[in-house]
Structure 1
Amino acid sequence: MAARVVLVAGFTHHDVADELWRASPESSLVRHDLSSLADGVVRRWADGRLTVLELAHGCVSCTLRLDLIPLLESIDGRVIVQLDPMLEPEAVCFALSETSVEVEAVVTVVDSATWLGDATGTDSLADRGMRAAEGDERTVAQVVVGQAEFADALVLTGPADAVLTTVLDRLNPDAPRQLLDALDVVSLLSAIPRTSRRGEIDDGFGSLLFGRPSLEPAHGVSVVHFTDRRPFHPMRLHDCIDVLLDGVVRVRGRVWVASQPDAALWLESAGGGLRVGNLGPWERDRDQEVVVITTSADATKITAALRSALVTDEELGLITELDFADPFADWHEEMEL
């Protein structure tokens, strides 16, 4: 048995999963409600039947491992899965990557009225009463940006203004879009390009400019693509992090710090939330690649701050002798939920 899954993500209530299900009557429909997950309770609807699960450890990983994955592995055929608003589809696809389940597509619903404010805001999930567990420190921005960025197709709840359109063009240029009021799910899925990720997880060592977005500024939106062949000074990189958070929609970066020559570090931020992960040993020559999408921050200041964080010629000449203070040494977290 092998399920073919269409994941429907989004931070807003919508009927897209139902539309997909109605367009594919032989499919199954699954919904998850994680609003009580912090108390160890998960509600799941599968083909209209409610199941209430009580977990010893209320966390997203447990929900995926103990419920969703076994359920999907038991189904043969297409399954429409409406994800809880707090779920990022990349984490779900990572969990599915070692199973026989095929991800046919990820469809994300974008609330045209609130998405940009959420994507550049500093509210945490806890501020909205939505965190998945006691230690869930994610921001709303991390969730909504991750949902839109990882999608194969986007459904907008209403017409997008020029700024939102430009941001989505830079964040996910290849994803076809439709308005919710005029949704044709068959044509939407058919419009997904062959090169779309369809649940595939990036290893972090490829180009970070997904879909070749335009780098030209437009409607106040700018893209910084910073590359270099020398390492960052760890303290100076740490000191310039605030520049990567204020007025920024998204940062994705593969970085090399002088204090950890063998480790490729991963920086990722949305709104005011930052993740630092370890990609493992370098798979090729060491380099820097940082992509920043901003709606209000000065792109030239971001570039200048990153460049000033690189080691100097003198430091480079003494790099094996210097003892760098490294605030990133104990800041790594695995890039999974």
Structure 2
Amino acid sequence: MSQLAQPGAAPPQADLRAALTLLTGFAPEATRAAADLLARADPALLVVEYDLAGLAADGTVRRTVRDGRGPVEDERTALEHGCLSCTVREDLLPALVRLARTRPGDDIALVLPPNMEPGTVAAACAWAEVDGAPVADALRIDSVVAVCDPASLLDTLDSDQDLADRGLHAADDDARSVADTAARQIEYADTVLLWAPGADPDFEHARLAVLLQRLNPWARHLVVDLDEPGWLSQRLRRSGRFDPDAPEPHGRGLEGHAVGSHEPEPDCGVVAAVYRARRPFHPARFHRALSDVAGRTLRGRGHLWLASQPDAIVAWESGGGGVAMGELGRWLAATPDAEWEDAGPERRVYADLHWDADFGDREIHLAFVGLHFAADELAAVLDGCLLTDEEAAAGPRAWREYDDPFDGCFDGKEGN
């Protein structure tokens, strides 16, 4: 039933800010081709691209702007610190705001280079200011689109190289891996494109489509097999799919959201598995199992807890056979009541609903995606890392005394 407007009520105001589409991916040719299709459908669309190859060499970046009629700008900027975050803060944001102000009514498509992650840009757009005014006053992120090339997708996700090995590192201390960076681009997106214009559907494309759906089950998925500007533009432009309040992929489980899908039976060879436990990992046994766990799958993500460091929420990320772990903060069970408000309502509600009398909100919640791996065998490896009944009965005081290969890695160890 439609609702009638109340007498005297102001009509809803149209959002006149420029809509920003972020195009991300580890295949620059495919990402650029997607931008070309959008520009062909709307000649007024401003396409912004960055070449960061000069960052490592001489601390410069090249920024180009074009629309459907041709080049608009081509500038090279020297960044004093030669780093990726400086590029976003000192050049990208002012350029986007300026374009939004000087070309009112025209939207923007930003083609990100492979080593720039969309989450970095989105965070900067949310909090940064340009000329004393919030960036969000001039533009809004409409959608984050991951463009994936079937010819290189599997090799990229299974790569054991760092960005530096391919000359893609954004600064001297950029130690990110190829596999992790590519996976994060896909996981952060609200729309995922399998880019295959002109290709005949076959098993390989079907397998990659399933793989992408398992990597990011909360996104909209499209297979682009037509070189048709209107088709793509209608599905991407002004979609409003980006949610600035959506949880990060690593922290989804803390707020009660799915970390991944559980599809242990292969679909075109693709397997997805979710592992959960309310008992901690023994640090030494878990450390010994790291390479085994990471080597079985293409991608893993989520959070966990270690018996020896019961206050720290530990983030898990695996890809290309490697592992990255970091701290996501403290468990609510290890947080003073007065600080619970900082956690956010969704996390507090989820913790209340799943509170354990002994361990509070502590849990292990991991998701894995790969090809032809046995989900039950992976679960058995992880089960072997959990505390035994006898170890669990000894209690947290004894756990803190365990030999811990992760000692000093997470700030949450020192707590109550």
Per the normalisation by structure 2, the TM-score is 0.72
Partner SS state of residue 188, structure 1 = helix
Aligned mates of 1:80, 1:49 — CA distance in 2: 14
2:121 pairs with 92, 105, 113, which one? 92
Q: Does 1:106 align with 2:144?
A: yes
Q: Secondary structure at the match of 1:225?
A: strand
Instruction: Return the alpha-carbon distance in structure 1 between the equivalents of residues 94 and 331 of structure 2.
Output: 35
Query: Structure 1's 207 and 167: CA in aligned 2 closer, same or farther, altered over 3 A?
Result: farther
How far is 1:83 from its partner?
Answer: 0.4
Query: Structure 1 residues 207, 117: closer, same or farther in 2, change over 3 A?
Result: farther
For 1:314 and 1:104, the matched residues in 2 are separated by: 53
Q: Distance in 2 between matches of 1:192 and 1:119?
A: 28
Q: CA deviation at 1:300?
A: 2.1
Give the conservation status (yes or no) of the 8 Å contact 2:23–2:146.
yes
Indicate the residue corresponding to 1:70 in structure 2: 94
Q: Is 2:79 the partner of 1:55?
A: yes
Change (3 A) 1:53 1:107: same
CA distance in 2, matches of 1:170, 1:192: 22
Q: How does 1:36-47 map to 2 (within 5 A)?
A: 36-39=54-57, 40-47=59-66
Q: Report the equivalent of 1:251.
A: 300
What are the ranges of 5 or more consecutive residues in structure 2 without an aligned counterpart? 1-15, 67-71, 129-135, 333-350, 352-360, 412-416
Aligned residue among 403, 406, 414 for 1:325: 403
1:220 maps to what in 2? Answer: 269
Deviation per residue, 1:232-274 (Å, 9 max, x gap) = 1122222111123214221112111112222111011221332
**Pick from 194, 211, 232: which aligns with 1:167?**
211
- Deviation string 1:263-307 (CA, Å, 9 cap, x unpaired) is 111011221332212111224311110101121433222111111
Cα distance change of structure 1 residues 279 and 140 upon mapping to structure 2, 3 Å threshold: same
Q: Percent identity, aligned pairs only?
A: 35
Shift of 1:166: 2.0
| AA of the residue aligned to 1:326 | D
What is the TM-score with the length of structure 1 in the denominator? Answer: 0.88
Q: Secondary structure at the match of 1:97?
A: helix
Aligned length: 332
Gaps of 5+ in 1: none
Contact kept, 8 Å, 1:111 with 1:156, in 2: the verdict is yes
Q: Is 1:35 paired with 2:53?
A: yes
Task: Pick the aligned partner of 1:132 from 141, 150, 170.
Answer: 170
Distance 1:321 1:108 in 2: 46
1:214 deviation in Å? 4.2
Equivalent position of 2:11 in the other structure: none
Counterparts in 2 of 1:239 and 1:96: CA distance versus 1, 3 Å: farther
Task: Write the distance in 1 (CA, Å) between the matches of 2:17 and 2:308.
Answer: 46
Mapped to 2, the partners of 1:303 and 1:225 lie a distance apart of: 9
Select the residue among 11, 16, 19 that pairs with 2:37.
Answer: 19
8 Å Cα contact 1:244-1:251 kept in structure 2: no
Q: Contact 1:267/1:276 (CA < 8 Å) preserved in 2?
A: yes
The 8 Å contact of residues 194 and 209 in structure 2, kept in 1 or not, is answered as no
Map of 1:5 onto structure 2: 20
Query: Which residue, 274, 297, 302 being the options, matches 2:373?
Result: 297
Q: 2:364 — aligned with what?
A: 288
Inter-partner Cα distance in structure 2 for 1:80 and 1:94: 17
For the pair 1:179 / 2:224, whether they are aligned, the reply is yes
SS in structure 2 opposite 1:16? Answer: helix
Task: Look up the equivalent residue of 1:189 and give its one-letter code.
Answer: L
CA RMSD of aligned residues (A): 2.7
More helix by share: 2
Q: Aligned-pair distance for 1:41?
A: 1.2
Query: Which one has the largest radius of gyration?
Result: 2
Structure 2 residue 207 is the aligned partner of structure 1 residue 188: no
8 Å CA contact 2:290–2:323 kept in 1: the answer is no
